[in-house]
Structure 1
Amino acid sequence: MKLFHCGRCANLLYFENSRCTQCGADLGFAPDVMDLLAMEPRAGDQWVAIVSGNIYRPCGNYLNHGVCNWLIPQNDTHTYCVACRLNRTIPDLGVANHRALWSALEKEKRRLVYSLLRLGLPFGPLSEQQGGLAFDFLSDQPAMFDERAKVVTGHAHGVITLNIAEADPVERERMRSQMAEPYRTVLGHFRHESGHYFWDRLVRGSPWLEAVRQRFGDDTRDYRQALDWHYQSGPPANWQNAYISAYASSHPWEDWAETWAHYLHMVDTLETAWQFGLRVDARDDVHPDTASDPAFDSYRIDDFDGLVRHWLPLTLALNSLNRSMGHEHAYPFVLAEPVVEKLRLVHQIVHAC
């Protein structure tokens, strides 16, 4: 994730900011220029960018609920920004705590959308285009001993459903422990489920399908049967030698989604590290540290091997820093060679878009 600076006072800004803490300027993220802009409100709902003079409107979810900091260009007639137009269902805001949970989900969803825009991937609102993307943010209903009242996070036909309970850190930690998952985050859910969406958009029926099957396995295996077997019997022995996570071993679709999510973890974390000026010595005399180049861009770099060369030492540093603070490893993963090759294929497919 990029760092930003206030157009009025040059104060350091972060992606979620909606007001500059130094000069008080209103802020909004403009996806047309991929920048967080300092704005001056004008008559009506018009905001003018202090530096460029371009005119925008704040997203309807900012005006009505205060849960979005994205902007809409003047010539765009939509009420909601490009990220909020992906929403098909939002929680019932009349229920206590739902607005706070929804706000937490929206922050992570916007990080996903930022990455998809940076990568130039094809997507748009399902309500506006065939093959588009949509989000349903749903809550469990009173069960009355009926498990069908539980909302299952998942993807189907372009719709990503998230149980809003995942935004509750207590509930998420309970599920993390119950499912024996060393890494479980809201952003991880978004990235994983987007992997299923982009399987349909980029892989299914495409020239990439055979190459993906060679790396990830036969996706025609019965999916429900494979998941039932996984939950009953657990992952195969030594799954770490071929998969990024235990769940990835359940079925090729899940392997793809887990690997896709991991690729998004990599490029976004590397961008954040380099934006902060963090440089980790890759100890590689053959390949100079290209991260010292101000033009280094983890989202746009064609050289996948270069991406990995910077990623591995960064994860060692992250884990060491976390342990120094008394926390568990920030990066509880091992990139075995088959996993690296799967990531390489994801990288190739993304950069072919």
Structure 2
Amino acid sequence: MKLFQCQHCGQPLYFENSACESCGRSLGYVAALGELSALEPTGQSWAALAEPSRPYRFCANAVHASCNWLVPADGADDYCTACRHNRTIPDLSGAINLERWRRIEIAKHRLFYTLLRLGLPLRTRAESAEGLAFDFLADPSEPSLPTILTGHDKGLITINLAEADDVERERRRHDMGEAYRTLLGHFRHEVGHYFWDRLVADGGSLAPFREVFGDERDDYGEALKRHYASGAPADWRERFVTPYASSHPWEDFAETWAHYLHIVDTLETAGAFGLKVKPSVPSAPDLMASVDFDPHEAIDMERLIAAWLPLTFAVNSLNRSMGQPDLYPFVLSPAVIVKVSFVHDIVHQVTGRAVAQRTGSEALKAVIAGLRNHYAAPPRR
């Protein structure tokens, strides 16, 4: 994510800020501009200093302190670009549900920031029967009733409100043997299923998908049963980004899609801070990186990988110095890099930045060649 600053006083801002902590001005996010803007009240609307010629009002969910995005004051939409995809929100009469929903909305809005920056197609249920929609549901109070399952079904993404509770989410992460489990990760994974439907199945990319990920016609229910009964194969690290990705090609794609969004968003943040990685070890040219490009616009996946690998080694080293687990608990094997490259290619195809889908072998060759050019030496395995 990019860095923001108050247009009135220059104070650096977080994406979620609703008021400048320096000058006190109200803030609102203008999605069409990709800017968090300081505001000037103008009667029943607001003037955004980032675009003063057009009046704005807040998304209807601002009344719950769950959204700081703006909509045009003269428009018909009460909800912003992100919130108009909500189909069901929880009962907000209780403080716990309200607080958890606010945390969910923070993650959802960060998801939409990246989807919009990438230029991906986003249809609501009003625009398409299988448009992207969200149900945010709490488990029933009656213990005998089934719990809410987080998942995706024909464009509808369901998120269990319990995932917004840090203790409960950590318990589930431990029970499932996962190295990483966050609200933002859930959103990125589940929206991967949605974009599989839109960009792969509907986009004519099934043949190259099957070459890279396998045949999705394998019975999904039976595949999950096998996975939960037997676990991931012993060599999963060589072929999959997570153990769960090994369960079925659909889950492999969704995990890889989420990973691609991790890479793009984190690289943008690193670039916004001007981060450079130049370790003080003489024999490690492949640990040097400078994020001096826009990862949303980069056509060559190898450029992202060349910056990503040194950056993640650095941030993991920083975390270990604080006695914390690795910030990035993953390993990108050559097979996984091919899969991430597939996601990269279809994203850039739909936005018109790239015109051809590479095969798995072509993607791997391109990434290896790019890394060799970057480091002037073969990439380390």
Length-normalised TM-score, structure 1: 0.94
Q: What stretches of structure 1 of length at least 5 have no aligned partner? A: none
**Structural mapping, 1:199-238, within 5 Å:** 199-238=196-235
The residue aligned with 2:117 is 118
Paired amino acid for 2:47: V
Q: Tell me by how many angstroms 1:290 deviates.
A: 6.3
Q: Helix, strand or coil for the counterpart of 2:27?
A: strand
| Cα contact 1:167–1:186 (8 A) shared by 2 | yes
The residue aligned with 2:99 is 100
Q: How many residues align?
A: 344
The residue aligned with 2:88 is 89
Q: Tell me by how many angstroms 1:76 deviates.
A: 2.1
After superposition, what is the alpha-carbon deviation per residue over 1:236-260, rounded to whole angstroms, capped at 9, x for unaligned? 1111000000000000000000000
Residue 105 to residue 128, structure 1, CA distance change in 2 (3 Å): same
Question: How many angstroms apart in 1 are the aligned matches of 2:256 and 2:73?
Answer: 38
The residue aligned with 1:33 is 33
Paired amino acid for 1:162: I
| Cα contact 1:48–1:56 (8 A) shared by 2 | yes
Q: What stretches of structure 2 of length at least 5 have no aligned partner? A: 351-381
The residue aligned with 1:10 is 10
| Cα contact 1:58–1:72 (8 A) shared by 2 | yes
| Cα contact 2:114–2:261 (8 A) shared by 1 | yes
Question: How many angstroms apart in 1 are the aligned matches of 2:50 and 2:125?
Answer: 34
Q: Tell me by how many angstroms 1:5 deviates.
A: 1.1
Q: Tell me by how many angstroms 1:284 deviates.
A: 5.0
Length-normalised TM-score, structure 2: 0.88
| Cα contact 2:59–2:70 (8 A) shared by 1 | yes
Query: Does residue 1:135 correspond to 2:134, yes or no?
Result: yes
Question: How many angstroms apart in 1 are the aligned matches of 2:68 and 2:5?
Answer: 15
Question: How many angstroms apart in 2 are the aligned matches of 1:139 and 1:338?
Answer: 38
| Cα contact 2:289–2:311 (8 A) shared by 1 | no
| Cα contact 1:105–1:167 (8 A) shared by 2 | yes
Q: Tell me by how many angstroms 1:312 deviates.
A: 0.3
The residue aligned with 2:176 is 179
Q: Tell me by how many angstroms 1:144 deviates.
A: 3.8
Q: Tell me by how many angstroms 1:81 deviates.
A: 0.6
Q: Tell me by how many angstroms 1:289 deviates.
A: 5.7
Report the aligned-residue RMSD. 1.5
Question: How many angstroms apart in 2 are the aligned matches of 1:105 and 1:198?
Answer: 20
Q: Tell me by how many angstroms 1:291 deviates.
A: 3.0
The residue aligned with 1:66 is 65
Q: Helix, strand or coil for the counterpart of 2:100?
A: helix
Question: How many angstroms apart in 2 are the aligned matches of 1:205 and 1:18?
Answer: 39
Question: How many angstroms apart in 2 are the aligned matches of 1:179 and 1:37?
Answer: 41
Question: How many angstroms apart in 2 are the aligned matches of 1:289 and 1:235?
Answer: 33
Q: Helix, strand or coil for the counterpart of 2:184?
A: helix
Q: Tell me by how many angstroms 1:52 deviates.
A: 3.1
Question: How many angstroms apart in 2 are the aligned matches of 1:133 and 1:300?
Answer: 24
The residue aligned with 2:358 is none
Question: How many angstroms apart in 1 are the aligned matches of 2:88 and 2:127?
Answer: 15
Identity among equivalent pairs (%): 53
